[in-house]
Structure formats: C-alpha cells, structure tokens
Amino acid sequence: MLFSLLGAKAPGITTPQDLEQVMQDPKQLNWYIVPIFVITLYLVFSEWKKKNYSVVLGGVAFWLMDVFNETWNSMVYATTGQPVWGTTAAGNSALQILVGYNIEISLMFLILGMFACKLLATTTGYEGVKFMDGNKDWLNDPHNMYYKANVLNSKLTPEERKTKCKAVLGRAIPAIVGSILAVIIEILLNKCNVLTWEKDWWQPAMPLVLFLIGYCPFFFAAVCVHDLPRKWQFVAIGCILFVVILLLIIAGSLGMLGHQLDANGVWVGKFYKP
C-alpha cells in the first residue's frame, strides 16, 4: 500500500529481462547523444578556459563517485540476481552502459558536479595566477571549508571561529540541499518507471538511505576536492580514480558488468543461481 501511495513500484518486481533489454546494445545508439556530448564538452572547456579549474576537478570527483556507485550496483546484480536500482528501455536511453547506468546519467552527473561547485562562494583570485596556484591560501581563505584547519579550535579567536563555522556551513548546506533535491528527482523518475528500485531498503519510504548513500558522498566529494590546493586535488581525484579502476577491473574480469542472461533470457551469471 505504501509503495502505491508514493507512486512507486514495489521492490524486486522488475525482471532481469526488463533490465537487460537494451543493455550494452549499440543498436540503441541515437543521434541526440552527439549534441548532448558536444554540449558537455563545451561546458567543461568553457570553465577550463575561464580558469575555473577547481570547478571542473570538483565535477570530475562527483562523476567518479557515481561511477563507483554504478559499479558496485552491477556487482550486487550479478551476485543476487537483483540490482539495488536499474534503468529500463522505458527511459529511451541512447546507450545503457550497465544495469542501472546509461550515457545520459553519466554526462548529467559530470555537469551536475560542476554546477554544484559553481554555486560555492569563493574568494576573488582563489585560482591564483599559475595553474598550480589554485587554493594556495586555502588555510587562510574565509570561503574555504579548510579555513584554519591547521589550528586548534581553542587557539582561534571568536571571530576566526565564526568565520570557520560559516566556511564549513557554506559547503555543507549546498551539499545537503543538493542531495535532498536529487533524491526528490529520483523519486519522480522512479514514478515514471524509467528508474527502478529493486531492494526494499532503497525506496521512497526510506529516503535517508538514498540521501546518505546515493548523493551525499557525491556532493561532499565535489566540494571537498574543490577547496583543496591544486596538488591535493589531483591526489584526491587520483585516489578515487584508483579505487574506481580497481573495482572496474575486478568486476569486469569476473563478468559482473555485462549481461547475466543469455540470448534466450536464461540466467547464466556465475555468482547467482535462480
């Protein structure tokens, strides 16, 4: 009754055949993905040309966190016969990459990550003159979330404590609000049946799970990377990228990222027996 009231499908009723109907099928490629890809490139290079390097790098961190989530979701599907979430042919994707991941989602998250970073208040000149100057004065920047992070709170003046609190809230509030709005959008997509939720703990009835696992890590990764000095931005992105690539290699080599059904719709995955 609760799921019907929320306009969402009950968990676990989407069949693997529905989820894999167009997965990794090049015949489903549509021309509209070309202008979307070009628009994404335009947005990325526009920010780069404006020397908003931290915005782009924050967006990359956001995007990588999503790839991580989509990869473990595919691993859940391969081991349980049921993903946490999935996308179906009803969404008319130009290319469904994984069981719950398509090309539109991928490009959207890169843009959303940059947009989230664009909303952050910044101090004039925070990118510096040279490329490696980005957030060079991060520990003394009143708009940076790491303001006075190298000083014990007891040694800060009342004014510095107030500034530090504002700096942290200036990052936490946009991340939290963005996560809440993203969860609401996901509920609407689920209601339209283009995004399915297959686990009973990943439902509109439990939005806190979606909030904490689905989006908070994305937004906080973006803002944390955005505020780091340039060297540490690359270190942070490199660490996330290493984990993502390692997970992709493991999952891919074990056959967890592709089809788990044969041409006749029979489950052939190695890690789950219906």
Using one digit for the tens of pLDDT, what is the confidence trace for 70-101? 999 999 999 999 999 999 888 889 999 999 99
Distance of alpha carbon 182 from alpha carbon 249, whole angstroms: 29
The verdict on residue 261 lying in a domain is: no
Distance of alpha carbon 195 from alpha carbon 213, whole angstroms: 17
The verdict on residue 271 lying in a domain is: no
Tell me the average pLDDT across 134-161.
Answer: 96
Residue 252 has pLDDT above 70, yes or no: yes
pTM, rounded to two decimals? 0.93
Q: How many domains does the chain have?
A: 1
Per-residue pLDDT band at 7 (split at 50, 70, 90): very low
The verdict on residue 266 lying in a domain is: no
**112-121, 134-143, 196-205: least confidently modelled range:** 196-205
* Percent of the chain residues topping a pLDDT of 70: 96
Give the model's pLDDT for residue 13: 73
Residue among 83, 74, 60 nearest 12 (CA): 83
Query: Exposure of 152 by Cβ count < 10 A (0-12 exposed, 13-18 middle, 19+ buried)?
Result: exposed
**42-51, 72-81, 194-203, 232-241: least confidently modelled range:** 194-203
The verdict on residue 71 lying in a domain is: yes
Residue among 73, 67, 105 nearest 86 (CA): 73
What is the DSSP annotation of 31-54? TTHHHHHHHHHHHHHHHHHTT-HH
Distance of alpha carbon 196 from alpha carbon 20, whole angstroms: 13
Give the pLDDT confidence of 160-169 residue by residue, as tens digits.
999 999 999 9
Distance of alpha carbon 68 from alpha carbon 9, whole angstroms: 25
The verdict on residue 51 lying in a domain is: yes
The verdict on residue 45 lying in a domain is: yes
Per-residue pLDDT band at 2 (split at 50, 70, 90): very low
Tell me the average pLDDT across 50-67.
Answer: 98
The verdict on residue 33 lying in a domain is: yes
Query: With contact defined as beta carbons under 8 Å apart, do 174 and 219 qualify?
Result: yes
Give the model's pLDDT for residue 10: 53
> Rounded to whole angstroms, what are the CA distances from 54 to 41, 104, 212, 222, 223?
16, 23, 24, 9, 9
The verdict on residue 270 lying in a domain is: no
Q: Which domain holds residue 77?
A: 11-253
* Residue for token pair 């990359």: 60
State the sign of the Cα–Cα–Cα–Cα dihedral 42, 230, 70, 270.
positive
